[in-house]
Amino acid sequence: MNAKLRLVAAGAPLAAAHAASPVTPICDWAESERPRERLLANGAASLSDAELFALFLHAGIPGWTAVDLARELLKHFGTLRSVLDASATELRALRGIGPARAAQLLAVSELCRRALAEKARDRALLDSPSAVEDYLKLLIGTRQYEVFVCLYLDARHQLLLAEESARGSITRVAVYPREIVRRALSLNAAGLIVAHNHPSGGVAPSANDRRLTRTLQDALALIDVRLLDHLVVASNEIFSFARQGWL
């Protein structure tokens, strides 16, 4: 750990960190190295994750440029998805992330989720499984507790509603098939995709996951609604009951 990081991690005044390791402001970088100018000249794909985040942060803090601060943000949370899934409290616990910056990052995260949901809503979900999986990975893939999500579909397999039906602890969540059936009836849904995450890692379904799937499938069949898939989600992996031939 270098001197600057050691001082900041120990809670030393930012002025001390600045004195220990002065930095060159981004505005003094060569134009070809500045994130904003590179984005405009070469497109957003030319920037790293940290450089893209730096554009939202706008400015750094004493001793750190906005790019340094963005790199520390990614280092702290580990992955891009984890940053986008962080709460306001988790973001504001980091030095340099106050209420305004936390709000900006939360807004970016919500816009990403809405864009993916819109992409899924505009097409038949069975024809675009990648859109569903991308949406679910961002929505629940990095949650630190279990979440159960229902995607209610119409007869053309287009999205009517995406809804978080239950949330629980790191190892279990209580799901009530009767409530899901009632919701499907109220929406006049013809199909349903359900999903939940495994915060502990891995996507192999448990015996309880398989029992719940069978119970849901039987309950929905009574009202002529088809359970199309049950997805088990992690940050970079998804298990599909339908692909496995279990539905």
Report the pLDDT value the prediction gives residue 182, as an integer from 0 to 100.
95
> If we measure between CA atoms, which residue out of 150, 144, 120 comes closest to residue 132?
120
Report the pLDDT value the prediction gives residue 194, as an integer from 0 to 100.
96
pLDDT at 18 over 70: no
Alpha helix (H) residue ranges in 146-231: 177-187, 207-221
The residues that bridge with 147 in the sheet, in sequence order, are 167
Amino acid letter, 101: R
The residues that bridge with 61 in the sheet, in sequence order, are 64
Report the pLDDT value the prediction gives residue 11, as an integer from 0 to 100.
40
Query: Rounded to whole angstroms, how far apart are CA atoms 221 and 104?
Result: 44
Q: Region 8-37: what's the mean pLDDT?
A: 65
Query: Rounded to whole angstroms, how far apart are CA atoms 113 and 137?
Result: 10
Better-scored residue on pLDDT, 228 or 2: 228
Better-scored residue on pLDDT, 1 or 124: 124
pLDDT at 51 over 60: yes
Structure tokens at 19: 């004195």
The CATH superfamily assigned to 124-244 is Cytidine Deaminase, domain 2 (3.40.140.10)
Over pLDDT 70: what percentage of the chain?
85
Q: pTM surpassing 0.75?
A: no
pLDDT at 103 over 80: yes
Query: Rounded to whole angstroms, how far apart are CA atoms 194 and 140?
Result: 12
The residue ranges of every structural domain in the chain are 3-111, 124-244
Q: Region 177-190: what's the mean pLDDT?
A: 95
Longest dimension (CA), the chain: 70
Report the pLDDT value the prediction gives residue 110, as an integer from 0 to 100.
85
Structure tokens at 215: 């119970």
Query: Rounded to whole angstroms, how far apart are CA atoms 96 and 89?
Result: 13
Residue 148 near residue 175 (C-beta atoms within 8 A): yes
CA angle 150, 156, 157 (to 5 degrees): 25
67 burial level (CB within 10 Å; 0-12, 13-18, 19+): buried
The residues that bridge with 233 in the sheet, in sequence order, are 197, 238
pLDDT at 5 over 60: no
Query: Rounded to whole angstroms, how far apart are CA atoms 97 and 91?
Result: 6
Segment among 6-15, 19-28, 81-90, 200-209 with least mean pLDDT: 6-15
191-197 and 147-153: which strand pairing? antiparallel
